[in-house]
Structure 1
Amino acid sequence: MDPRERALGLHRDGQLVEADRAYRAALDAHPDDARLRHFHGGLLMQSGRLEEAALQFQKVAAQAPDAVENLAALALCLRDLGRLAEALPVAHRVLALRPDDALALLVAGSTHAALGEGTQAERLLRECVGLAPANTEAWHHLGVVLQEQGRWDEAASAHERVAARRAGAWYNVGLCRERQGDLLLARECYGRFNQAHPDRIAGWTRRAQVQALLCDFPGEAESVARIRARLARPEALAVDDQAEPFVLSFLPLPDADRRRLLEHAVHQVQAKAGRLADGMQPAKTGARQAGTHLRLGYVSPDFGEHAVGSLMRDVFAAHDRGRVHVTAYSLRRHAGATADAIRSGCDVFRDCEAMATPAIAESIAADGIDVLVDLGSYTSGARPELLALRPAPVQLAYLGFLHPHGAPWLDAVVLDPWLLPAGAEAMFGEPVRRLSTLMLPGRSAEPAPIDRARFGLPAERVLLAAFNNSYKFDRALLEAWLEIAGRAPQAVFVLSVPPQAEPLLRRHWAGQGG
Structure 2
Amino acid sequence: MAAGRTRHQNGDSRQRRRRITPKATPDSQPPMPSGAKLPAAGEQCLQQALHAHQNGRLDAALRGYLAVLEHSPSHATALANLASIHTRQSRFQEALACYQKALQSGDTTPELWFNHGNLQRRLGQGAEAAQSYARALQLNPRLYPAHCNLARLLLAQNRQAEATTALAAALTRFPEAPELLRLYGDALYHQDDAAAALAVYQKLAALQPDQASTYNALGVAYRASGQLQNAEAAWQRCLVIDAGHVVALTNLGTLYRLQKRHEAALVPLRKAVALQPGDPDCVASLACTLIDIGQISAALALTEPALALRPEHADLLGMHAFALVQQARIAEGQACLAKARRLKPANPVAIGNSLFSSLYSDQLDAPALTRLHQALADSLTDYPHPVSVQEPVGSAAATFKAGDKARPFAQRRVQRQQRPLRIGYLSPDFRAHPIGFFIEPVLQQHDRDRFHVTCYALPHAADSHSERLKSHGHRWRDFEGCNLRRMGETIRQDGIDILVDLAGHTAGGRMDLMACKPAPIQALFLGYPYTSGLAAMDYLIADRHLIPAPLEPLYRERVACLAHSFLCYQAQPGTPEVAALPALTHGHITFGSFNNLPKLSASCLDLWAGVLSAVPDSRLALMASSLADAGTRQRFRRHFIERGITGERIDLLPPVTPLTRFLAEYGRIDIALDPMPFNGGTTTCDALWMGVPVVTLAGQGFMSRMGVSLLNTLQRPEWIAADADGYVGIAAALAADIPRLQHIRSTLRAQMAQSGLCDAAGYTTGLERIYLEMMRI
What's the TM-score bracket when you normalise by the shorter of the two chains?
A: 0.7 to 0.9
What is the CA–CA distance in structure 1 between the aligned matches of 2:444 and 2:383, rounded to whole Å? Answer: 37
The CA deviation at 1:324 is 1.4
What is the CA–CA distance in structure 1 between the aligned matches of 2:81 and 2:254, rounded to whole Å? Answer: 41
Q: Write the letter of the residue equivalent to 1:308.
A: I
CA contact (8 A) 2:423 2:500 kept: yes
Q: 1:129 to 1:338 in 2, by over 3 A?
A: closer
Q: Deviations over 1:358-383 (max 9, x none)?
A: 22222222212222222123222233
CA contact (8 A) 2:593 2:622 kept: yes
Q: State the match for 1:195 in structure 2.
A: 308
Rg larger in structure: 2
SS at match of 1:362: helix
Q: Write the letter of the residue equivalent to 2:303.
A: Y
SS at match of 1:442: coil
Q: Deviations over 1:182-211 (max 9, x none)?
A: 322221222133212335676455424313
Q: 1:130 to 1:10 in 2, by over 3 A?
A: farther
Q: Deviations over 1:103-136 (max 9, x none)?
A: 8447625753662849947526647787788877
The answer to whether residue 495 in structure 2 is matched with residue 364 in structure 1 is no
What is the CA–CA distance in structure 2 between the aligned matches of 1:425 and 1:477, rounded to whole Å? Answer: 25
For 1:40-189, list aligned pairs within 5 A: 69-76=145-152, 79=155, 84=160, 87=163, 97=174, 101=178, 104-105=181-182, 108=185, 111-112=188-189, 115=192, 117=194, 120=198, 122-123=217-218, 126=235, 153=265, 156=269, 160=273, 163-164=276-277, 166-167=279-280, 169-189=282-302
The answer to whether residue 509 in structure 2 is matched with residue 382 in structure 1 is yes
Q: State the match for 1:467 in structure 2.
A: 594
For 1:283-302, list aligned pairs within 5 A: 283-284=391-392, 286-287=395-396, 288-302=415-429
SS at match of 1:386: helix
What is the CA–CA distance in structure 1 between the aligned matches of 2:596 and 2:449, rounded to whole Å? Answer: 40
CA contact (8 A) 2:370 2:533 kept: no
Match of residue 421, structure 1, among 539, 545, 548: 548
Q: State the match for 1:249 in structure 2.
A: 359
Q: 1:156 to 1:364 in 2, by over 3 A?
A: farther
Aligned residues: 501
Q: 1:193 to 1:410 in 2, by over 3 A?
A: farther
CA contact (8 A) 1:283 1:362 kept: no
SS at match of 1:316: helix
What is the CA–CA distance in structure 2 between the aligned matches of 1:445 and 1:72, rounded to whole Å? Answer: 59
Q: State the match for 2:624 in structure 1.
A: 497
Q: Write the letter of the residue equivalent to 1:123.
A: L
For 1:419-458, list aligned pairs within 5 A: 419-428=546-555, 430-437=556-563, 438-443=565-570, 448-451=576-579, 458=585
Q: State the match for 2:668 in structure 1.
A: none
Q: 1:14 to 1:398 in 2, by over 3 A?
A: farther
Q: Deviations over 1:287-343 (max 9, x none)?
A: 243212221111111100111111112212322212211011112355545323321
5+ residue gaps in structure 2? Answer: 1-64, 66-77, 199-215, 221-234, 397-414, 646-777
Q: 1:484 to 1:123 in 2, by over 3 A?
A: same
Match of residue 338, structure 1, among 451, 465, 468: 465
Which deviates more from structure 2 when the two are superposed, residues 325-334 or residues 147-156? Answer: 147-156
Q: Write the letter of the residue equivalent to 1:431.
A: E
Match of residue 347, structure 1, among 474, 485, 498: 474
What is the CA–CA distance in structure 2 between the aligned matches of 1:103 and 1:70, rounded to whole Å? Answer: 11
SS at match of 1:494: strand
Q: 1:35 to 1:401 in 2, by over 3 A?
A: farther
The CA deviation at 1:176 is 3.9
SS at match of 2:598: helix
The CA deviation at 1:281 is 4.5
Q: 1:364 to 1:478 in 2, by over 3 A?
A: same
Q: 1:472 to 1:165 in 2, by over 3 A?
A: closer
Q: 1:337 to 1:138 in 2, by over 3 A?
A: closer
What is the CA–CA distance in structure 2 between the aligned matches of 1:16 and 1:389, rounded to whole Å? Answer: 47
SS at match of 1:311: helix
Q: State the match for 2:637 in structure 1.
A: 506
CA contact (8 A) 2:151 2:167 kept: yes
Q: State the match for 2:539 in structure 1.
A: 412
Q: Write the letter of the residue equivalent to 1:372.
A: L
CA contact (8 A) 1:84 1:115 kept: no
Q: Write the letter of the residue equivalent to 2:578.
A: I
Q: 1:138 to 1:417 in 2, by over 3 A?
A: same
What is the CA–CA distance in structure 2 between the aligned matches of 1:146 and 1:47, rounded to whole Å? Answer: 42
SS at match of 1:379: coil
Q: 1:258 to 1:412 in 2, by over 3 A?
A: closer
CA contact (8 A) 1:397 1:414 kept: yes
The CA deviation at 1:54 is 5.5
What is the CA–CA distance in structure 1 between the aligned matches of 2:428 and 2:374, rounded to whole Å? Answer: 21
The CA deviation at 1:470 is 0.7
Q: State the match for 2:379 in structure 1.
A: 267
For 1:212-227, list aligned pairs within 5 A: 212-215=325-328, 217=329
Which deviates more from structure 2 when the two are superposed, residues 341-350 or residues 293-302? Answer: 341-350
Which deviates more from structure 2 when the two are superposed, residues 173-182 or residues 373-382? Answer: 173-182
Q: Deviations over 1:415-438 (max 9, x none)?
A: 33333332334434x323222332
CA contact (8 A) 1:304 1:338 kept: yes
SS at match of 2:455: strand
CA contact (8 A) 2:152 2:183 kept: no
Q: 1:487 to 1:34 in 2, by over 3 A?
A: farther
Q: 1:294 to 1:254 in 2, by over 3 A?
A: same
Which deviates more from structure 2 when the two are superposed, residues 65-74 or residues 478-487? Answer: 65-74
The answer to whether residue 356 in structure 2 is matched with residue 207 in structure 1 is no
Q: 1:451 to 1:459 in 2, by over 3 A?
A: farther
Q: 1:297 to 1:226 in 2, by over 3 A?
A: closer
The CA deviation at 1:410 is 2.8
> Normalised by the size of structure 1, how large is the TM-score?
0.77
Q: 1:507 to 1:434 in 2, by over 3 A?
A: same
CA contact (8 A) 2:542 2:562 kept: no
Q: 1:339 to 1:124 in 2, by over 3 A?
A: closer
Which deviates more from structure 2 when the two are superposed, residues 189-198 or residues 50-59? Answer: 50-59
SS at match of 1:198: coil
**Higher RCO (CA 8 Å, separation ≥ 6 residues):** 2
The CA deviation at 1:486 is 1.5
Q: 1:294 to 1:143 in 2, by over 3 A?
A: same
Q: 1:490 to 1:74 in 2, by over 3 A?
A: farther
What is the CA–CA distance in structure 2 between the aligned matches of 1:379 and 1:420, rounded to whole Å? Answer: 21
What is the CA–CA distance in structure 1 between the aligned matches of 2:93 and 2:312, rounded to whole Å? Answer: 28
SS at match of 2:546: coil
> Normalised by the size of structure 2, how large is the TM-score?
0.54
What is the CA–CA distance in structure 1 between the aligned matches of 2:168 and 2:130, rounded to whole Å? Answer: 17
